[in-house]
Amino acid sequence: MSSNTTFKGNLQQFSQSGWMIVAGLAGFKLLIHLLTATNYGFFMDELYFLASGQHLAWGYVDFPPLTAFSAWVVRGIFGDSMFGIHLLPALAGAGLVILTGLLVHELGGKVFAQAAACLGVVVTSVYLFMNTYLSMNSIEPLIWMGCIYLLIRIAKTGETRLWLVFGVLAGIGLLNKHTMLIFGFGATIGVLLTQARIRCWNRWFFLGGALAVLIFLPNLIWMIQHNFPHLQQLANIRFARRNVELDPLGYLGQQVLYQNPFTLPLWLGGLVYFFIHPTGRGYRFIGWTYLLALSLLLLADGRPYYLSPLYPVLLAGGAVWGESVLSGGRGKWLKPGFLSVLGISGLILGPFSLPILPPEVFIRYAKAVPFIQPRIENVYSGALPQLFALRFGWSEMVDAVAKVYHELSPEEQARTQILAGNYGEAGAIDLYGPARGLPNAFSGHLTYFYWGQERTSEVSAGATVIVVGYSVVNMRPYFEKTEIAGYVSHPYAMPYENFPIYLCRGLKVPLSEVWRYLKNFG
């Protein structure tokens, strides 16, 4: 057989197996994220993560160290390029599509199943949003699904040494986001509740668990040394009732909205597949993992999107089940019809997750389409929904602060610092400020509190402070004189990010003596 004939045969096999479809959908997802990578601006949390990359440590108040390390790496490569910084989450999104195709393959699915599951990932609203900005959320589904893939392989092959790889991946997951504990709880109990438990009672299982703990240990030590600040933050959020409160039915409704309502038949079909289908029952631990994680989040009042990393395997299971149900003549029209509806839903709902439309166009579009971004917090969002509004106004805020700063005499600038009310404002000043001649910001918000504590010796009594994001009522006791020196205003920003800029002169005591009063773990 000639090499040309062999190549054609391999290409045909590649196409028939569905992998060409998987690759095409992964490439499409990567493309749409790269094409929108510089639209709008940096997300508020992203500004905080970029600042954290300049303060590498084994922990931060509200997240483990991996995201800060990622920010340090990408800025080292791309500088402050928004396109470069958004490349990593875009690649993570494409990787999730490929991994979903791999899960379908392991579950025995063929062309339709791979197309349906991977298209389901592409049009899932929460993934469209999460893959637009640098955060722990963009790679968390990859980690969870990598662990699920290993569990499937262990169950299928009995290759228990894969527990070592599972342990390493779980440990990395814990360094990425502590919600990995929710997955670990669900997966462990799920395996023990099913026949898969026979793969657990061996040295590789326990060595894998030890590896996960060992990798996570530096972050655990950091949290112990700092008295578990994330638990303090969660308690403060709960006390302030900042999060939207949902009953169980409302929580389930949010799952439908976050995933894209048109994927509902797929992921519900996944639960049917793992609990009822003769083939899927061999992986029933996956169904239990989902239900146990859901139950834990309901009990803990966790945010609805915390469960999102589990849905790709449900989409995969549902696609395999649907492929078997629609086999034969009855699937001739239903299969392409379902894929068409799924694709059209992504086109219609995509603008609610992707920064693809100009703001004024999106506002008109949102009035015409009966869909909304799910609300996460009890805040008024103004012209744009919260997840879009948090991308606007940051560079303009820094411009306004720079104007106030440069109106001061050189002598006064030398003894002037900037105090910001939250990590978004502080992160914006740290990102955009150096090019405008500004010093780095102080803030008492979350990990900025610790960074500021290390610098309080720089601010002695008599100093001048430019204050953004604080009420003048809170500032007056600390200064001899306060005045409004400028305003921050942007039509598309969150309303609470429109405020006066205060110029506060004559700090009455060194900043170190009052710093503890500025602590905000909320």
The tens digit of pLDDT for each residue in 342-376 reads 999 999 999 999 999 999 999 999 999 988 888 88
Instruction: Examine residue 230 and state whether it is found in any structural domain, yes or no.
Output: yes
Q: State how many domains the chain has.
A: 2
Instruction: Please compute the mean of the pLDDT values over residues 310-317 and round it to a whole number.
Output: 98
Instruction: Examine residue 361 and state whether it is found in any structural domain, yes or no.
Output: no
Predicted pLDDT at 490: 96
The mean pLDDT of the chain is 93
**For the segment 130-170, what is each residue's pLDDT rounded down to a tens digit?**
999 999 999 999 999 999 999 999 999 999 999 999 999 99
Confidence of residue 14 (pLDDT cuts 50, 70, 90): very low
Instruction: Examine residue 503 and state whether it is found in any structural domain, yes or no.
Output: yes
Instruction: Report d(CA 270, CA 281) in Å as an integer.
Output: 11
Same domain, yes or no: 347 and 460: no
Predicted pLDDT at 4: 52
Instruction: Examine residue 77 and state whether it is found in any structural domain, yes or no.
Output: yes
Instruction: Examine residue 388 and state whether it is found in any structural domain, yes or no.
Output: no
The residue from 327, 352, 377 where one domain ends is 352
Predicted pLDDT at 331: 72
Phi, psi (degrees; rounded to nearest 5) at 420 = -115, 150
Q: What share of the chain is helix, strand, coil (3-state, %, to 5)?
A: 65, 5, 25
Same domain, yes or no: 402 and 345: no
Same domain, yes or no: 127 and 198: yes
| pLDDT for residue 11 is more than 60 | no
Residue 289 near residue 155 (C-beta atoms within 8 A)? no
Same domain, yes or no: 27 and 164: yes
Same domain, yes or no: 49 and 106: yes
Instruction: Examine residue 157 and state whether it is found in any structural domain, yes or no.
Output: yes
| pLDDT for residue 13 is more than 70 | no
Predicted pLDDT at 327: 81
Same domain, yes or no: 16 and 80: yes
Predicted pLDDT at 17: 66
> Beta-strand (E) ranges in 342-478?
416-420, 441-443, 464-468
Instruction: Please compute the mean of the pLDDT values over residues 54-66 and round it to a whole number.
Output: 97
Give the contacts of 441 (CB within 8 A, at least 6 positions apart).
Answer: 418, 419, 420, 425, 426, 429, 430, 433, 448
**For the segment 78-93, what is each residue's pLDDT rounded down to a tens digit?**
999 999 999 999 999 9
Same domain, yes or no: 476 and 402: yes
Confidence of residue 15 (pLDDT cuts 50, 70, 90): very low
Same domain, yes or no: 58 and 169: yes
Instruction: Examine residue 114 and state whether it is found in any structural domain, yes or no.
Output: yes
What is the 8-class DSSP label of residue 354?
A: S
Same domain, yes or no: 30 and 121: yes
Among 10-14, 230-234, 255-259, the minimum mean pLDDT is found in 10-14
Instruction: Please compute the mean of the pLDDT values over residues 29-35 and round it to a whole number.
Output: 98
Instruction: Examine residue 357 and state whether it is found in any structural domain, yes or no.
Output: no
Among 54-63, 329-338, 408-417, 477-486, the minimum mean pLDDT is found in 329-338
Residues in the chain: 522
The residue from 321, 352, 383 where one domain ends is 352
Predicted pLDDT at 226: 96
The residue from 318, 352, 386 where one domain ends is 352
Residue 352 near residue 373 (C-beta atoms within 8 A)? yes
| pLDDT for residue 6 is more than 50 | no
Same domain, yes or no: 34 and 182: yes
Same domain, yes or no: 339 and 408: no
Tell me the residue range of the domain where 449 lies. Answer: 394-518
Instruction: Report d(CA 290, CA 3) in Å as an integer.
Output: 47
Predicted pLDDT at 423: 97
Same domain, yes or no: 158 and 217: yes
**For the segment 318-334, what is each residue's pLDDT rounded down to a tens digit?**
999 999 988 877 777 89
Predicted pLDDT at 372: 81
| Whole-prediction pTM | 0.93
**For the segment 448-492, what is each residue's pLDDT rounded down to a tens digit?**
999 999 999 889 999 999 999 988 788 889 999 999 999 999 999
